[in-house]
């Protein structure tokens, strides 16, 4: 049979010999230990890789350093992970310290820590009682011998003191660190002995205000000086500063006590009298004074208005006496006459009577006041003369009279400009009557009244005065005739420029401005102001034509004849005939153009050139003035307009119509023959209305 044809037969199973390993049996412990060591080694390696070195330097030797968190250290060298850690350092004899530190990523870091040493105590031993001490100049509140606690470590200066002993200074090094040191201190006595005796004996001895005992007595006196006092009833205290060398024993000379003074209390009715004692000034009553005993003393008393008083007295030791003296008045008579006769009379503020009276007054300066309703009170000082009668007359004035008495009739201001006071007292007529020859249509007659008194310049503003404000100004010339001499009136001035000059002058005189300017133009007027300004047309007319007696002038000369028969002002005359369109025949004032201001006679109010020389700007806007009816009070002209009023004639005008004081013109710009004069109200108007 071929091998390929063999038959397979089953046989019995026989397991292998030996042990078998079951699934789930434990790993050997050696493997576990090896694995744990590997993990720890990896952790240590990782820590060493991440940790940083920190060196802590402490000022205290042997300091105990503790840092929070995982750390390793060799001495003061720590290995720490980066981040914040709490560090505590302590050392014996030093204050502990706790602080937070930050470990950065730097491989090596170093910090210095200074611990403060603890103070030390000093045990002071001494036989000197009640000893005090100062440390470095600061006194301590304790008595020694004893313990001085809490002295800082280091070099210190200690000064020890005790009453009756010399001070002692010690330089000492304090070890500190909570330790105690000892010091023996001995102070040297600073006194010597003096034996005191007195006359009389048994006087009480005080040394530095401490009672020691009665004389005769031996006492300690300091070499540095002691204050010694003896006292005994009936005698004056004896005081002396004494010193004696320490360690010595001496006798002091006999001390003789003087009898004690008495006390005199001096009072007078009335009080305030001047007092002299035995010729020596003491003061004024009431007063209290010590007086030597057992001798006669003279007191003299003086008071204005009273008779001199003299008193004498003798006083015993330690006696107290009172001198109450009633002074007798020293009077004189004042025969007082008052107007009005019902006036009240006051002496030193006290009402004593009414009307004319004879006053019996002390011969001393007193304040006399006379009062009456509606009148200004008057106060004066009077000094009656003893035994004589004096006559005194007091005339009160009304409040209005007192007001005007305080306002001068003339004032002078910067630039030698003089103004005169005008006080209108009744209505007057502006304009001209219809039948007046030369009257123009713009001179409608109407009634006006001026309530506010005013000052107006006696002369037109000159070139010299105007150039104080605007030095470059020129009033020009005509046909070879100059208008620019310093004493000629200023010309070629616009209304706005004249107003600016007035404001400038107000500033110079510390007065409130009258004109309000904006962009070089007047856009408002302060009517309440008393600053300088141009006169209103009504003020100019009143000052020009209303005489002090109330009569009205037609021209600026006395007679109303035209033309004038002699030179009375600067008008268009024969000398100006080639310069102007019309000239007065047979009239020659001597000036072809403007004359120096004030060259001709003033009017009845003391005003120059009101009717000639140059025409003058006034404050009002121009209109034809159609008002009729009740008098206008303080007329101011229109509130607005294009042109301003021009008043008065000039060297270029000569017709009858132009030379009248009611002649009115208008304009916007300056002219060769046009100037101005200034005015102002007397006072500020507090209610401008």
Q: What pLDDT digit, counting tens, does each position of 65-81 carry?
A: 878 767 767 767 777 78
Beta bridge mates, 341? none
Residue 101 has pLDDT above 50, yes or no: yes
What is the rounded average pLDDT of the residues 514-521?
94
- The answer to whether position 591 is within a domain reads no
Q: Are residues 171 and 201 in the same domain?
A: no
Residue pLDDT, tens place only, 453-479:
999 999 999 999 999 999 999 999 999
> Rounded distance, CA 461 to CA 533, Å?
12
Q: Which two tokens stand for residue 235?
A: 């005698």
Residue 12 has pLDDT above 80, yes or no: no
Work out the burial of residue 279: count CB atoms within 10 Å of its CB; fewer than 13 is exposed, 13-18 middle, 19 or more buried.
exposed
Closest CA to 420 of 428, 430, 412: 412
pLDDT averaged over every residue in the chain: 88
Confidence band for 302, pLDDT divided at 50, 70 and 90: confident
> Rounded distance, CA 81 to CA 48, Å?
9
> Rounded distance, CA 409 to CA 418, Å?
11
Q: For residue 347, give the CATH number of its domain.
A: 2.60.40.1120
pLDDT for position 689? 38
CB atoms within 10 A of CB 141: 5
Confidence band for 688, pLDDT divided at 50, 70 and 90: very low
What is the rounded average pLDDT of the residues 102-117?
83
> Rounded distance, CA 76 to CA 171, Å?
38
Contact between 343 and 355 (Cβ < 8 Å): yes
**Which residue would you say has higher pLDDT here, 213 or 329?**
213
The full length of the chain comes to 689
**Which residue would you say has higher pLDDT here, 541 or 374?**
541
Confidence band for 3, pLDDT divided at 50, 70 and 90: very low
- The answer to whether position 544 is within a domain reads no
Minimum mean pLDDT range among 50-54, 603-607, 646-650: 50-54
Calculate the CA 547 to chain-centre distance. 53
Contact between 244 and 262 (Cβ < 8 Å): no
Q: For residue 244, give the CATH number of its domain.
A: 2.60.40
pLDDT for position 320? 86
Contact between 180 and 120 (Cβ < 8 Å): yes
Domain closes at, from 296, 326, 356: 326
H-state helical runs in 511-619: 537-545
What is the rounded average pLDDT of the residues 182-191?
89
User: Quick one: CA dihedral 481, 483, 489, 491, positive or negative?
Assistant: positive
- The answer to whether position 135 is within a domain reads yes
- Sheet of 389-395: strands edge to edge? 357-362, 331-339, 389-395
Q: Find which of 280-294, 331-345, 511-525 is predicted with most confidence, using mean pLDDT.
A: 511-525
- Could you tell me the CA-to-CA distances from 419 to 124, 414, 460, 463 in Å, in that order? 97, 11, 11, 17
Residue 23 has pLDDT above 60, yes or no: no
What is the rounded average pLDDT of the residues 534-556?
95
Residue 20 has pLDDT above 90, yes or no: no
Q: Are residues 145 and 204 in the same domain?
A: no
Q: What percent of the chain has pLDDT over 70?
A: 94
pLDDT for position 257? 87
pLDDT for position 442? 92
Q: Which two tokens stand for residue 497?
A: 């420029």
What is the rounded average pLDDT of the residues 618-627?
84
Residue 21 has pLDDT above 80, yes or no: no
CB atoms within 10 A of CB 602: 15
Print the domain residue range for 252.
191-256
Residue pLDDT, tens place only, 38-50:
888 786 777 767 7
Residue 237 has pLDDT above 60, yes or no: yes
pLDDT for position 627? 56
Phi, psi (degrees; rounded to nearest 5) at 499: -65, -40
Closest CA to 159 of 119, 130, 131: 131
Domain closes at, from 379, 401, 423: 401
Number of domains in the chain: 5
Q: Are residues 131 and 95 in the same domain?
A: no
Q: Which residues, 6 or more positions from 213, have their beta carbon under 8 angstroms from its beta carbon?
A: 204, 205, 219
Minimum mean pLDDT range among 191-195, 507-511, 540-544, 657-661: 191-195
Beta bridge mates, 570? none
Residue 408 has pLDDT above 90, yes or no: yes
> Rounded distance, CA 225 to CA 205, Å?
16
Q: Are residues 201 and 150 in the same domain?
A: no
What is the rounded average pLDDT of the residues 182-187?
89
Q: Are residues 251 and 290 in the same domain?
A: no
Phi, psi (degrees; rounded to nearest 5) at 128: -85, 125
> Rounded distance, CA 59 to CA 37, Å?
41
Residue 1 has pLDDT above 50, yes or no: no
> Rounded distance, CA 409 to CA 423, Å?
10
What is the rounded average pLDDT of the residues 290-312?
86
User: Quick one: CA dihedral 560, 563, 566, 570, positive or negative?
Assistant: positive
> Rounded distance, CA 534 to CA 617, Å?
7
Residue 341 has pLDDT above 50, yes or no: yes
**Which residue would you say has higher pLDDT here, 25 or 224?**
224
pLDDT for position 13? 52
Q: Are residues 150 and 195 in the same domain?
A: no
**Which residue would you say has higher pLDDT here, 646 or 287?**
646
Q: Which residues, 6 or more positions from 397, have their beta carbon under 8 angstroms from its beta carbon?
A: 375, 376, 405
Omega into 241 within 30° of 0, i.e. cis?
no
- The answer to whether position 671 is within a domain reads no
> Rounded distance, CA 345 to CA 367, Å?
11
pLDDT for position 539? 98
Residue 84 has pLDDT above 50, yes or no: yes
Residue pLDDT, tens place only, 548-604:
999 999 999 988 788 888 899 999 998 888 899 888 988 999 999 999 999 999 999
pLDDT for position 123? 92
Q: Are residues 277 and 251 in the same domain?
A: no
End-to-end Cα separation, the chain, in angstroms: 166
Q: Are residues 243 and 213 in the same domain?
A: yes
Domain closes at, from 184, 212, 240: 184
pLDDT for position 155? 92
Q: What percent of the chain has pLDDT over 90?
A: 45
- pTM of the model as a whole: 0.53
Q: Are residues 338 and 383 in the same domain?
A: yes
- The answer to whether position 428 is within a domain reads no
Residue pLDDT, tens place only, 127-147:
888 899 899 988 988 888 889
Report, in this order, helix, strand and coil percent for the chain, each rounded to 5.
10, 40, 50
Q: Are residues 346 and 367 in the same domain?
A: yes
Tell me which DSSP letter residue 574 carries.
Answer: G
> Rounded distance, CA 432 to CA 552, Å?
11
Q: For residue 266, give the CATH number of its domain.
A: 2.60.40.10
Q: Which two tokens stand for residue 31?
A: 């493997």
Q: Which two tokens stand for residue 436?
A: 């007046």
Q: Are residues 319 and 335 in the same domain?
A: no
Contact between 509 and 413 (Cβ < 8 Å): yes
- The 3-state DSSP class for residue 659 equals helix
Tell me which DSSP letter residue 415 carries.
Answer: T
- The answer to whether position 440 is within a domain reads no
Q: Are residues 336 and 396 in the same domain?
A: yes
- The answer to whether position 552 is within a domain reads no
- Please write down the long-range contacts of 559-565, taking CB distance under 8 Å and 24 or more positions apart: 562/437, 562/656, 562/659, 563/587, 563/656, 563/659
Residue pLDDT, tens place only, 358-387:
888 888 888 999 999 988 898 999 888 887
- The answer to whether position 415 is within a domain reads no
Confidence band for 25, pLDDT divided at 50, 70 and 90: low
Establish how many alpha carbons lie within 13 A of residue 421's alpha carbon, considering only the half-sphere containing its beta carbon.
Answer: 14
Phi, psi (degrees; rounded to nearest 5) at 488: -80, 155
């Amino acid at each position: 049979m071929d091998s390929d044809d063999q038959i397979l037969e089953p046989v019995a199973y026989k397991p292998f010999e030996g042990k078998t390993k079951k699934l789930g049996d434990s790993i050997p412990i050696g493997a576990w230990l090896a694995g744990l060591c590997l993990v720890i080694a990896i952790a240590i390696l990782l820590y060493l890789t991440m940790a940083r070195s920190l060196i802590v330097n402490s000022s205290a030797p042997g300091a105990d350093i503790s840092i929070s968190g995982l750390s390793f250290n060799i001495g003061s060298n720590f290995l720490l992970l980066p981040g914040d850690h709490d560090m505590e350092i302590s050392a014996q004899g030093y204050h502990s310290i706790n602080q937070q530190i930050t470990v950065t990523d730097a491989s090596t870091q170093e910090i210095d820590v200074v611990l403060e040493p603890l103070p030390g105590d000093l045990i002071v031993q001494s036989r000197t009682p009640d000893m005090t001490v100062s440390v470095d100049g600061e006194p301590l509140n304790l008595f020694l011998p004893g313990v001085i606690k809490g002295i800082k470590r280091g070099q210190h200066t200690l000064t020890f003191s005790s009453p009756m002993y010399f001070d002692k200074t010690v330089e000492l090094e304090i070890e500190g660190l909570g330790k105690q040191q000892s010091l023996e201190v001995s102070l040297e006595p600073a006194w010597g002995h003096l034996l005191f005796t007195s006359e009389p004996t048994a006087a009480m001895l005080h040394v530095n205000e401490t009672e020691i005992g009665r004389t005769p007595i031996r006492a300690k006196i300091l070499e540095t000086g002691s204050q010694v006092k003896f006292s005994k009833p009936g005698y004056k205290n004896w005081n002396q500063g004494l010193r004696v060398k320490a360690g010595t024993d001496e006798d002091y000379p006999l001390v003789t006590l003087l009898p004690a003074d008495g006390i005199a209390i001096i009072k007078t009715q009335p009080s305030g009298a001047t007092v002299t004692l035995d010729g020596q000034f003491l003061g004024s009553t009431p007063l209290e004074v010590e007086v030597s005993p057992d001798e006669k003393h003279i007191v003299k008393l003086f008071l204005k208005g009273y008779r001199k008083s003299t008193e004498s007295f003798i006083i015993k030791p330690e006696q107290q006496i009172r001198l109450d003296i009633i002074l007798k008045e020293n009077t004189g008579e004042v025969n007082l006459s008052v107007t009005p006769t019902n006036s009240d009379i006051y002496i030193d503020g006290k009402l004593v009577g009414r009307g004319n009276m004879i006053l019996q007054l002390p011969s001393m300066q007193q304040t006399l006041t006379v009062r009456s309703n509606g009148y200004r009170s008057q106060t004066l000082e009077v000094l009656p003369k003893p035994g004589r009668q004096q006559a005194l007359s007091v005339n009160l004035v009304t409040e209005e009279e007192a007001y005007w008495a305080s306002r001068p009739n003339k004032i002078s201001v910067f630039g030698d400009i003089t103004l005169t006071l005008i006080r209108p007292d009744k209505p007057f007529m502006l304009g001209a009557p219809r039948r007046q020859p030369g009257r123009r249509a713009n001179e409608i007659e109407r009634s006006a009244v001026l309530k506010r008194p005013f000052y107006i310049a006696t002369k037109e503003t000159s070139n010299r005065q105007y150039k104080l404000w605007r030095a470059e100004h020129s009033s020009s010339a005509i046909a070879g005739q100059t208008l620019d001499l310093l004493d000629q009136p200023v010309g070629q001035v616009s209304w706005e420029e004249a107003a600016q000059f007035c404001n400038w002058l107000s500033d110079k005189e510390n007065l409130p401005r009258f004109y309000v300017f904006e962009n070089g133009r007047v856009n408002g007027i302060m009517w309440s102001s008393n600053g300088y300004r141009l006169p209103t047309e009504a003020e100019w007319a009143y000052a020009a034509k209303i005489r002090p007696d109330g009569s009205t002038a037609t021209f600026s000369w006395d007679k109303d004849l035209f033309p004038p028969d002699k030179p009375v002002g600067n008008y268009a005359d024969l000398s100006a005939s080639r310069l102007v369109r019309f000239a007065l025949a047979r009239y020659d004032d001597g000036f072809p153009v403007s004359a120096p201001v004030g060259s001709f006679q003033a009017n009845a109010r003391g005003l120059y050139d009101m009717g000639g020389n140059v025409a003058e700007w006034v404050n009002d806007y121009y209109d034809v003035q159609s008002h009729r009816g009740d008098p206008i009070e303080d007329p101011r002209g229109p509130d607005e307009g294009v042109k301003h009023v021009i008043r008065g004639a000039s060297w270029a005008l000569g017709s009858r119509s132009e030379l009248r004081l009611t002649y009115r013109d208008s304009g916007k710009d300056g002219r060769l023959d046009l100037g101005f004069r200034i005015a102002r109200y007397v006072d500020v108007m507090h209610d401008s209305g």
